[in-house]
Amino acid sequence: MGHDHTLLRSSVRCPLPSMSIRLAVALLLMGVVAREGQTVLAQTGTWQVLVKNSGLSSMHTAVTHMNTVVFLERTNQGATSLLLPDGKCRNDPSDQYLKKDCYAHSSVMNLANNAIRPLMILTDTQCSAGQFMADGDLQQIGGNFNGIRGVRTFTPCPATGKCDWVETATKTQVDRWYSTTQLLPDQRVIVIGGRTVPSYEFIPAKGLKVQPLQFLKDTLTTDKNGQADNWYPYVHLLPDGTLFIFANTKSIKLNFVTNQVVKEYPILPGGPRNYPSGGSSVMLPLSFVDGFKSVEVLVCGGAAAGAFTIAEGRTKFLACQQTCGRMRVTDAAPKWSVETMPVKRCMGDMLLLPDQNVLIINGAEFGSQSEGRATTPVLTPVLYQTNTPSGRFVTMAASTIPRMYHSTANLLPDGRVMPAGSNSNRVHKYSKVPFPTELRLDAFSPPYLAASQNPKRPTITLSPGSVKLGLTFLVRFAVTDPKTVIGNVDVIINNSPFTTHSYSQGLRMLKLQTTAPKAVAGGLFEVTVTAPPNANVAPNAYYMCWVVNQKTPSKAAWIRLT
């Protein structure tokens, strides 16, 4: 398949020489033992290379309910290392690099065997947005050049199928480049912001025009180099049917039905967080315990003010931010609580894990997002223990693969996390640059997948294919050692987000109400679970469903909420 990168640490070229020394010392202190493609350190997770050459470097990644993973980079940047099948080619006279392009710029991976099948994307998806719809289709919106108003769909099929991208007749009403999407309770998608687009719109529009959003004008950082700090705004659907929107350092609550800002939140100190500053955000898991009414938002990392501009010459890089802000947005008088991460980080991806903790992974210590404007990769993921009152941060086992600009990370149905991509270059460059285009795919296994946890690990044996909101459903499971089922188990569901540019668009996780485990025939247990009450709490979509015993999750079963 062309370029085959080795796993040698010497391939990590870093302008700041202290990085390799710090990494070596950290690995020694952590007791890491390396084997072929794997780091052995159960208590802080393990790493394994899955694919040495995926053929392309994914800047957008999504996991489908068919247990496949969709990768997207962009057209209009020259050849990848993955040819389209059957002699297919894309003919585009406007392409700046290849008028006749016979290479794939999207692909799908079978999680059962890691096999990769090329897909054909026709328009430029650079820095676009996306969302899974209620029926499981992946809707992909905007981009650059000929894709800037495009709307594409991918209908997932079994790994042996031939499903591919479809360019739809639907278009956005204005250019959408660096925008954010969110699936709404009525199954529409709202598209918010983008480059020089302080507005939002709906797909399908149903006759509604583009709505201006003054908040995106007020949060725009402007300079001659185009540093914005409010592109790819963080958007979270709240259980009352409104939207929490964060951009730069500010946040609001938007009623998108009446087109009114109904609340302004305090400024988060520490500097800008959104593109190109490269922070990240998650809405912490919602819970049946309070009726899904209490909502906390976490925002971590970012760049120093002006980091994008200073890095223009690619020789001077300001330190990234080291703080997280956490706020209960449903309080009467919300306030940010600021916490300090173990390491400075921008371009880090934040994921919700089935044990309800947050994993912060990927990124850099200096610079900002954009091509060539960052250095010193952060190779150690950090676990943020959501419900621990103090000492929340735990440093995990180090990777050997830098993942900086245009990288992603997604939770897989087996509980692992799969980082992908990293391309700090305008086109693919595999040598003679500080950070070559990355084609490897690897997986991080959190500590809950350690062998020592096997006796506790549930295996789901029965779950519904779909369930209506508000109704109850039955889940059966086995446990390697039944004696470990002490008290209640948790049933956790999360949807699959569209991950790009350090933010997982649409991600939400919920802890559902369950009965106490009941032993049944065959050494099984069963629980009765109550589905979320309405689509404000959990929009209709496919969700991964986990049984978690003593903080150890099963593999996920897919359940469609209708």
Question: What tens digit of pLDDT does each residue of 525-547 get?
Answer: 999 999 999 999 999 999 999 99
Residue 231: name the closest of 262, 260, 201, 191 by CA: 191
Peptide bond into 276 cis (omega under 30): yes
Output the pLDDT for position 222: 76
Q: How far apart are CA 203 and CA 305, in angstroms?
A: 34
Per residue in 161-178, pLDDT (tens digit) is 999 999 999 999 999 999
Give yes or no for residue 21 having a pLDDT over 90: no
Q: Which helix (H) or strand (E) holds 459?
A: strand 458-462
Output the pLDDT for position 311: 86
Give yes or no for residue 521 having a pLDDT over 50: yes
**Interval 210-225 mean pLDDT:** 89
| 309 contact partners, CB below 8 Å, separation of at least 6 | 223, 224, 225, 227
Q: With contact defined as beta carbons under 8 Å apart, do 160 and 195 qualify?
A: no
Q: How far apart are CA 473 and CA 495, in angstroms?
A: 18
Per residue in 92-130, pLDDT (tens digit) is 999 999 999 999 999 999 999 999 999 999 999 999 999
Output the pLDDT for position 42: 57
Output the pLDDT for position 10: 29
Q: How far apart are CA 516 and CA 230, in angstroms?
A: 46
Q: Which band of pLDDT confidence, cut at 50, 70 and 90, is reported for residue 389?
A: confident
Cβ neighbours around 516 below 10 Å, total: 11
Peptide bond into 553 cis (omega under 30): no
**Interval 426-455 mean pLDDT:** 95
Give yes or no for residue 29 having a pLDDT over 70: no
Output the pLDDT for position 465: 96
- The percent of residues above 70 in pLDDT, for the chain, comes to 92
What is the amino acid identity at position 519? A
CA 256, 72, 52, 24 torsion-angle sign: negative
Per residue in 229-265, pLDDT (tens digit) is 999 999 999 999 999 999 999 999 999 999 999 999 9
Give yes or no for residue 199 having a pLDDT over 50: yes
Q: How far apart are CA 552 and CA 448, in angstroms?
A: 5
Give yes or no for residue 7 having a pLDDT over 60: no
Q: How far apart are CA 446 and CA 441, in angstroms?
A: 17
Q: With contact defined as beta carbons under 8 Å apart, do 137 and 154 qualify?
A: yes
Output the pLDDT for position 315: 82
Q: How far apart are CA 125 and CA 127, in angstroms?
A: 6
Output the pLDDT for position 417: 98
- Assign residue 302 a region: left if phi > 0, alpha if psi is -120 to 50, beta otherwise? left
Q: With contact defined as beta carbons under 8 Å apart, do 274 and 246 qualify?
A: yes
What is the amino acid identity at position 52? K
**Interval 19-24 mean pLDDT:** 40
Q: Where are the alpha helices (DSSP H) in 17-96?
A: 18-30
**Interval 40-53 mean pLDDT:** 85
What is the amino acid identity at position 277? S
Structure tokens at 531: 């589905």
Q: How far apart are CA 207 and CA 202, in angstroms?
A: 9
Give yes or no for residue 19 having a pLDDT over 60: no
Query: All domains of the chain, ordered by start, with CATH?
Result: 9-449 (2.130.10.80), 456-561 (2.60.40.10)
**Interval 78-90 mean pLDDT:** 95
Structure tokens at 176: 């959408």
**Interval 195-210 mean pLDDT:** 96
Output the pLDDT for position 224: 62
Residue 303: name the closest of 381, 252, 365, 362 by CA: 365
DSSP line for 274-300: SBTS--EEEEPPEEGGGTT---EEEEE
**Interval 493-511 mean pLDDT:** 98
Higher pLDDT, 33 or 471: 471
Output the pLDDT for position 39: 38
What is the amino acid identity at position 176? R
Output the pLDDT for position 120: 97
Output the pLDDT for position 34: 35
User: Could you tell me whether strands 466-467 and 557-561 are parallel, antiparallel, or unpaired per DSSP bridges?
Assistant: parallel
Give yes or no for residue 226 having a pLDDT over 80: no
**Interval 31-52 mean pLDDT:** 64
Per residue in 51-79, pLDDT (tens digit) is 999 999 999 999 999 999 999 999 999 99
Output the pLDDT for position 225: 60
Average pLDDT, the chain: 92
